[in-house]
Structure formats: C-alpha cells, structure tokens
Amino acid sequence: MSEDQESFVMKHVFDNFTMLESNEKTSFCGETEKHFGVPWRIRISRERSMFKVFLECLRFCGKKTWRINSEIKWKIPKKDGKLFEKTENYVLENDSFPGCCSLRFLYENAKEEYMIDGKFEIEVQVFIIGTIGIAHSILRNFDDDVAKEFSDVVLVAENQKFYVNKMYLALHSTYFKTMFSVKSEESMENSESSEKSEIELKDVDAYDLQKFLEVLYGEIEALNDDTVEEILNLADMFESKTARTNCLKFLIKTSDRSLKMKFEIALKHKLSKLSSLCISEMSTVTELRSVFPEDPKMYEPELWAELYKRLLDLTR
C-alpha cells in the first residue's frame, strides 16, 4: 500500500451485543463519521444463525455515477487474546444505498469467540485506492501563506485553523457580525494585544466548515448533494443569507435529490420557496401523500392549504 493513498480508521465498541441473543433479526449502528466528505458507519446485525458486520458508505445515490475503490482491513479482538484480521478489496458505487463491505460469521461462533464481557469491538482501516465522481478536493485554501497574510481572525474547528477576514465574514453572516462587534469593543479596552484572535467553533465539523467557507467565498462548486445539508446547517447556525441563497439555488436547479427529500430539507431549514416548488411538481396523489406527516400538527395551516390545493388539482 503506497504512502500517498488516503486512509482513515474507524473503531466502535458495541455494548449491546447480548441483545442479539433474544432477537434473531435485528441490527445496531455505530456513530456516523465523515471522512473525505463522505459519511461512513459501522453496523452489526443478526439474521437468524448468521452474524454480520458492515462498513457502510452513506453517500447519496443520485443520477451521477460515483465509485470508490478501496482496501479494507478488519480487526476484531478475540476472547482468547488473539486478533482476527482480514484484508479485502471492495468497490462501493451508486447502484445501491448504502454501499457496504461486510463480514459474515455463524452467530454462535461469533458469540463464543468475539463477545468479551458482553461487548463486541471492531476496528476498520480503509484505504482509498481511487474514486470516480467524488470531489472532496479543497477548492480554496484557508491556511496557506496568502490566507495567513491577509486574514485578521482565525476560526478553529476540530483543531484545524481557518484564516479569514472579519469584514468579509461580517458582510455575509449576522452571527459573525455580532460576534466581531462585541470583540472589537473588548479589544479597544485591551489595545495592547496585537495577535490575531482565534475563535473556537465547538461541535462544528472541520470539513463542513471548509465547504461552508468555500461557498461564502464564491466557490459554488463546493455545493453538491453530499454537502448541501451540512452547509445549510452552518448557514442557519451562522445566520448567513448568502449561503442559504446559494443552497436554495442548488436544490432548485441542480440537485438530484427526490422531491420528497427536497421537501423535507425545505421544511427543516424553512425554505418556503423550495417547499412550494416541490408541492407544485408532485405529479401523483401517492407522491403528494408521501409527505403527509403522521401528526397533522407538525405542519402550519398555510402549508396544509398548499398541499390540499395541489391534492384537489390532482384529483380533478
């Protein structure tokens, strides 16, 4: 394996392994992690006599072709102190969701060999050999010499530093405008400090912040069906009309997501223009009913009025 190939490691301890004993068809998932802009998770399941371990690639399956050629190294501690190891090559692609790699054992054997104090531990190392249709490249560098020279504030997410300009951020984000106004007053009281201030953004994914800033700085190519929801989340958090507008344009004009998925995004982020467009483009009663909630109180009266108007149009 060459050193320049991209790789990452995922680990998880399932402390609910014993719950598989009483249920012959169930599964448990580890936390979803993002690597190279793609979400991944580890899942275990029991299907009668079989025990399965999955590494799932949760990349959105749209119309565009994508493929990940990978080498997967599985490591599972055994009860006798030894280590189960296996290396396999997998091709993950957009034919199915999720794309996954898997191991299979007889359940009784897995319980006997790998269950330690009622827990099941696994480590998966993933080597990305090559990709098609997946753009996780950096469109704008926020920590090179130019960025550092012309910046006056540093944003920090997951220990990664982003050198940016206060005025530009304040122009496109009410959140940062307010923050910098307060910090400006504080710096006037403490004028001896000449160092660039660092602002730690807790619970913000560094990759998501990279893509959000790229969109803010005009790199619209950063928007795709994998990044748009995370960018919208940060646009809401940082009160950025610019980012929200660009996300809305992408969802209306470019996105391959289904009308139902777009409708759900529209409701979550209060994009009324998008939700109205989705309703107007739904062409069957079944499609329209698919977005009806179990609890009618979840929708505002105005939204119900739009839905019922479209329902009447479709049943005439």
- Tens digits of per-residue pLDDT, 21-34? 777 778 899 999 98
Residue 263 lies in a domain: no
Task: Tell me which residue of 100, 126, 118, 109 sits closest to 29, measured CA to CA.
Answer: 100
**Phi and psi for 83 in degrees, rounded to 5?**
-130, 125
- Note down the domain range covering 124: 6-132
Query: What per-residue confidence (pLDDT) applies to 187?
Result: 57
What confidence tier does 68 reach under pLDDT thresholds 50, 70, 90?
confident
50: pLDDT strictly greater than 80? yes
Residue 148 resides in a domain: no
pLDDT at 51: 93
119 occurs within a structural domain: yes
- The verdict on pTM exceeding 0.75 is no
Question: 198, 161 in Cβ contact below 8 A?
Answer: yes
Average pLDDT score over the chain: 88
Of the ranges 56-65, 123-132, 188-197, 238-247, which one carries the lowest mean pLDDT score? 188-197
CA distance 167 to 176: 9
- Rounded to an integer, what distance in angstroms lies between the CA atom of residue 243 and that of residue 215? 6
CB 14 within 8 A of CB 44: yes
Contacting residues for 105 by C-beta, under 8 A, at least 6 apart:
50, 51, 52, 53, 114
Give me the pLDDT at residue 185, please. Answer: 57
Is residue 57 assigned to a domain?
yes
What pLDDT, on a 0 to 100 scale, did the predictor assign at position 292?
95
Give yes or no for residue 234 having a pLDDT over 90: yes
The pLDDT score that the predictor gives to residue 39 is 86
Task: State how far the Cα of 63 lies from the Cα of 95, in Å rounded to an integer.
Answer: 10
Residue closest to 102 by CA, chosen among 86, 118, 116, 115? 86
Whether residue 304 contacts residue 288, with contact meaning beta carbons closer than 8 Å, is answered with no
Categorize the per-residue pLDDT at 9 as very low, low, confident or very high, splitting at 50, 70 and 90.
Answer: very high
Asked whether residue 91 carries a pLDDT value surpassing 50, the answer given is yes
**Confidence (pLDDT) at 97:** 54
User: Does 67 map to a domain?
Assistant: yes
What six digits make up the tokens of 1? 């394996």
Mean local confidence (pLDDT), 241-250: 97
Choose the weakest-confidence range: 47-61, 161-175, 217-231, 263-277. Answer: 47-61
Average pLDDT over residues 77-97: 87
Q: How confident is the model at residue 67 (pLDDT cuts 50, 70, 90)?
A: confident
Q: Which of 53, 89, 73 is nearest to 124 (CA)?
A: 73
Say if 117 falls within a structural domain: yes
Note the pLDDT of residue 196.
Answer: 76
pLDDT, average across residues 55-77:
84
Give domain status of residue 32, yes or no: yes
- The structure tokens listed for 100 are 């996954």
pLDDT of residue 63: 61
Residue 216 has pLDDT above 90, yes or no: yes
Distance CA 205, CA 219 (A): 19
* Structural domain contains residue 226: no
Q: Per residue in 277-291, is it b (16+ CB within 10 Å) or e — as a string? A: bbbeebeeeeebeeb
Q: What's the pLDDT at 96?
A: 58
Sign of torsion over alpha carbons 211, 213, 216, 220: negative
Share of the chain above pLDDT 70, in %: 90
| CATH number of the structural domain spanning residue 58 | 2.60.210.10
Instruction: Please check the confidence at residue 247 and state whether its pLDDT lies above 60.
Output: yes
The domain tally of the chain equals 1
CA angle 256, 261, 265 (to 5 degrees): 110
Q: Compare 5 and 199 and report the one with higher pLDDT.
A: 199
**Predicted pLDDT at 316:** 83
Pick 284 or 100 by higher pLDDT. Answer: 284
Span 139-176, pLDDT tens digits? 899 999 999 999 999 999 989 999 999 999 999 999 99
Tell me, what's the pLDDT at 61?
Answer: 64
pLDDT value at position 166?
A: 94
CA torsion sign, 145 to 179 to 221 to 132?
positive
In this prediction, residues 234-259 reach a mean pLDDT of: 96
